[in-house]
Amino acid sequence: MSAPLTPDEETSLDMARSYYAPAFSLPDLTTSLPSGPFEASPAGAAEAARITAGPPAGLFRRLIADQESEAVLLAARRVLAAFLGPDDEDADGGTAAPGPDADADAVAAHVLAARAELAAVLGPLRSHPDPEVRAAVLRQRAPLALTGGCWLDTLSQAATQPAEIVGRLFGQHWLLQGEGTSEAGLLGRRRRALIGHGVHLPGVESAAFLDEAGARPLTALHGAFHLALSRLPASFLPEVVGVHYAAHALGLDELLLGTEPMLTESDVRPVLATYLAFTKDSPTGPADRRRALAAVRLLLRLEREHTAALAELAAWHDGLSLDAKVARIVERHAPHAGRQHHSVRLGNRRLTDWLDTGDLDAAAFVRELRASRRLKPARDGGPCRFLKAVKFGGPMFGVFDESEAAVLTAWARAVADGEPAGADLVPATAGDAPARHWSDRLAAADPADILVGEPEGPEDHRRFFHRLVNFEHHPSVLPLARARAEAGLAEAEILFEHGAEGLLTDASWFPYTPEALLERVERIYRDKLVDPYEPLVEIPSRDEVVFEQSTYALGSLIDGTWAHRVGNLGRRGRRSDDMLFAIYADEMGRGDTAKNHITLIHQVLASMDMDLPHIRQEAFLHQGDLPDHLYGFSIHQLCLSLFPDSLYNEILGYNLGIEMFGLGAMRMHEIQKLRRHGLDVSYEEAHLSIDNFSAGHARQSADIVVAYLDEVRHLSGEEAVQREWRRIWRGYASFAFFIEHALVKRVRAAAAEDAGTPVELVI
């Protein structure tokens, strides 16, 4: 028997399989993307190490707040290396896990047995007689409940579509996102359920979220795993499948919240079964199957750990005396007490000396307060001085919330009644043992597949396109992508003055009002796209038609990419986010791969005898069917897509341009030419239909801009609207810049002639 492959040898073998893989064909039964190194700049690698070396809460916050930097992608890789490393013995803590050849039913039996075991622990927590304990448990669970499912946020992307398994997962993602209305989706339902239980928390993207939830280190680390998987889902497709199945099959958040699941075990088992079936015919199938089942085991382990931590936390709360509860309240408020108590003394110390030292002994503080005259009942039988200060009209009214005030009142009365002091405050340690395990794993994580070196500089379009498509493995491309996007946007502003001369667009500048925008887009639709249409009298030869289609194909192969990272976790609070996500979902067939626009363009190319590798494959670098000189258009779109936060406005404008482009004379002429030669017209027909100006994507894209700027006006006023609008319109102009070749060339030539300098046009 030969020796097992080393990780480096397995990586080399996977890359070789990718390079020599047969040309892409439908259906796409991919079970994992080509593996390979993660390219990192020295600065990016160093920052990633700093992020993961910090406290768990800081790691969680950085992963959720930053989706545009190289360092965070590399930090995510380190987190996944820690969590997805070799299993500890009996890691999931249950009965023997199914073997590597287990089918979906065997996996389901194991997971459902774990669900029954965990439900027995969660049941008493859900029905606990003390509402404060129930609320504490739900707050602790909230960071996981409200990040659940984020691993699907960006799984659908240029590198993964139109894989059958990705389509099935995206269909469930569409459902979990409320089918375009996030408030009706999974996280919206969970947040409302939390509120119904009296748990009010800021958004997960808020800096205060973990503090308000009282998140223990274990909770933050588990949440960081969710977030890390959401940052690199294409690179970890088998793990996404396993985690998705296990999380919804267990359904612990619905058990704890008492809500109905949006996806049950019977809904997600077919996805797992399909994936396992696909691995049988995949060259990397055995490894992919092992990875998916290992992810199921990992999720079971994590949920066992967190369920035990919740039970431990509830028991700790149950054991708190009134004195200990008051000490916790003091600890929460001490950092915000300020210096306004400079004249107040407690015992032989000023109150500010107790509270401002940074090492408050809360138990000692409570003992001193208990013995002070502030807790002595008033001579007239009324409340003590301390309670008077807390009540309406007192100097501390409003400092404590309703539940805190109730605890303080009960404690003051107990002291007045002569009840002896309770036990000193015992620190909460719920989940600390497994948290130390994962922290140690994270500290030791140094993935061998992160290759550190100086980032590549400017390169040929094919190589740049390949790195952008596979950006998860090329995080060091991000600074170059940003520079390229910003340069393209700035360059496109040339059309603010000359755009009215465009053949199919009009990017000339105008001040924004909703009426002005709708008037402009309707005029473009009528004057430039629809009214000029007349059926072709002469049809070009088949070769000419095929060549013309080849000039559009590269852009079609990344259809929808500009929007694929907009509105993911922590970023779907605006109506415009939901609306743009709905457009992207339509482009991806809402999970039906037969309706996926990437599927359709591959069908068209196949009808023209173009046998192309998938754009994610190394082999695509060497394809000879698509012309080199038009890569700029697709590169610009990919660059925009990588900055969904900082270039959000520009993406809205670009979306308007590209969705309107699906209409009118050009599209109808293409259908006429394709039909004459018996070529597939499904891609052209789909866009002519779905992009319609009455209620389709073209009109929706204008409505998205109006919805977004309405919110800007409400929050920041008219001046801010015009600033935001300029950025949106330069996004539209950047689309027009690549469409109006002749116009841009004329304008540049005229400018060069006026300046007496040569002109070079690169698009």
pLDDT tens sequence across 202-213: 999 999 999 999
Residue 307 and residue 328 in one domain: no
| Residue range 317-341: mean pLDDT, rounded | 81
Q: Which two three-digit tokens encode residue 588?
A: 């991806």
Alpha carbon distance 478, 70 (integer Å):
6
- At residue 613, the pLDDT reads 94
Q: For 146-160, 570-584, 617-631, which range has the lowest pLDDT when averaged over its residues?
A: 617-631
- Under the banding of pLDDT at 50, 70 and 90, the label for residue 361 is confident
- At residue 19, the pLDDT reads 39
| Residue range 438-459: mean pLDDT, rounded | 91
Burial track 145-177 (b if 16+ CB lie within 10 A, e otherwise): bbbbbbbbbbbbbbbbbbbbbbbbbbbbbbbbb
Indicate if the pLDDT at residue 16 is higher than 50.
no
State how far Cα 450 lies from the chain centre.
Answer: 22
- At residue 1, the pLDDT reads 33
Residue 534 and residue 489 in one domain: yes
State how far Cα 56 lies from the chain centre.
Answer: 19
Residue 242 and residue 117 in one domain: yes
Task: Give the list of residues 6+ apart from residue 421 with CB closer than 8 angstroms, or none.
Answer: 321, 323, 367, 370
Indicate if the pLDDT at residue 2 is higher than 50.
no
- Under the banding of pLDDT at 50, 70 and 90, the label for residue 18 is very low
Residue 249 and residue 188 in one domain: yes
| Residue range 413-417: mean pLDDT, rounded | 88
| Residue range 2-16: mean pLDDT, rounded | 46
Which residue range(s) make up the domain with 274? 98-318
pLDDT tens sequence across 628-656: 888 999 999 999 999 999 999 999 999 99
Residue 489 and residue 408 in one domain: no
Residue 677 and residue 690 in one domain: yes
Residue 117 and residue 260 in one domain: yes
| Residue range 585-601: mean pLDDT, rounded | 96
Residue 272 and residue 376 in one domain: no
Total of domains in the chain: 3
The string of DSSP letters for 170-226 reads: HHHHHHHTTTT-GGGSHHHHHHHHHHHTT-----TTSTTHHHHHT--HHHHHHHHHH
- At residue 336, the pLDDT reads 73
Q: Considering the chain, what percentage of its residues have pLDDT values greater than 90?
A: 73
- At residue 630, the pLDDT reads 85
Indicate if the pLDDT at residue 3 is higher than 50.
no
Indicate if the pLDDT at residue 668 is higher than 70.
yes
| Residue range 346-361: mean pLDDT, rounded | 76
| Residue range 434-446: mean pLDDT, rounded | 97
State which of 393, 416, 439 marks the end of a domain. 416
Alpha carbon distance 120, 129 (integer Å):
16
- At residue 5, the pLDDT reads 44
Residue 524 and residue 641 in one domain: yes
Indicate if the pLDDT at residue 532 is higher than 50.
yes
Q: Considering the chain, what percentage of its residues have pLDDT values greater than 70?
A: 93
Of residues 750 and 125, the one with the higher pLDDT is 125
- At residue 382, the pLDDT reads 82
pLDDT tens sequence across 159-198: 999 999 999 999 999 999 999 999 999 999 999 999 999 9
- At residue 23, the pLDDT reads 62
- Domain membership of residue 171 (yes or no) is yes
The radius of gyration of the chain from alpha carbons, rounded to an integer in Å, stands at 30
Cβ atoms of residues 653 and 705 within 8 Å: yes
Alpha carbon distance 703, 696 (integer Å):
11
State which of 388, 416, 444 marks the end of a domain. 416
- Domain membership of residue 264 (yes or no) is yes
Residue 722 and residue 589 in one domain: yes
- Under the banding of pLDDT at 50, 70 and 90, the label for residue 95 is low
- Under the banding of pLDDT at 50, 70 and 90, the label for residue 89 is very low
Supply the CATH number for residue 253's domain.
1.20.910
Q: For 349-353, 501-505, 658-662, which range has the lowest pLDDT when averaged over its residues?
A: 349-353
Indicate if the pLDDT at residue 357 is higher than 80.
no
- At residue 266, the pLDDT reads 98
- Domain membership of residue 7 (yes or no) is no
- Domain membership of residue 35 (yes or no) is no
Long-range contacts of 120-124 (CB under 8 A, 24+ apart): 121/307, 121/308, 121/310, 121/311, 122/252, 122/255, 122/256, 122/307, 122/310, 123/255
Distance spanning both ends of the chain, measured CA to CA:
56
This prediction has a pTM of: 0.92
- At residue 293, the pLDDT reads 97
- Under the banding of pLDDT at 50, 70 and 90, the label for residue 611 is confident
- Domain membership of residue 15 (yes or no) is no
Alpha carbon distance 248, 148 (integer Å):
9
Residue 527 and residue 591 in one domain: yes
What average pLDDT does the chain have?
Answer: 91
Q: For 406-410, 464-468, 482-486, 602-606, which range has the lowest pLDDT when averaged over its residues?
A: 406-410
| Residue written as token pair 């890691």 | 91
- Domain membership of residue 79 (yes or no) is no
pLDDT tens sequence across 707-739: 999 999 999 999 999 999 999 999 999 999 999
- Domain membership of residue 31 (yes or no) is no
Closest by Cα among 585, 604, 613 to 469:
613
| Highest mean pLDDT of the ranges 79-93, 323-337, 550-564, 677-691 | 550-564
State which of 361, 383, 416 marks the end of a domain. 416
- Under the banding of pLDDT at 50, 70 and 90, the label for residue 260 is very high
| Residue written as token pair 């005030």 | 405
Residue 221 and residue 326 in one domain: no
| Residue range 316-321: mean pLDDT, rounded | 92
Indicate if the pLDDT at residue 386 is higher than 90.
no
Q: Residue 20, SS3? A: coil
- At residue 12, the pLDDT reads 45
- Domain membership of residue 32 (yes or no) is no
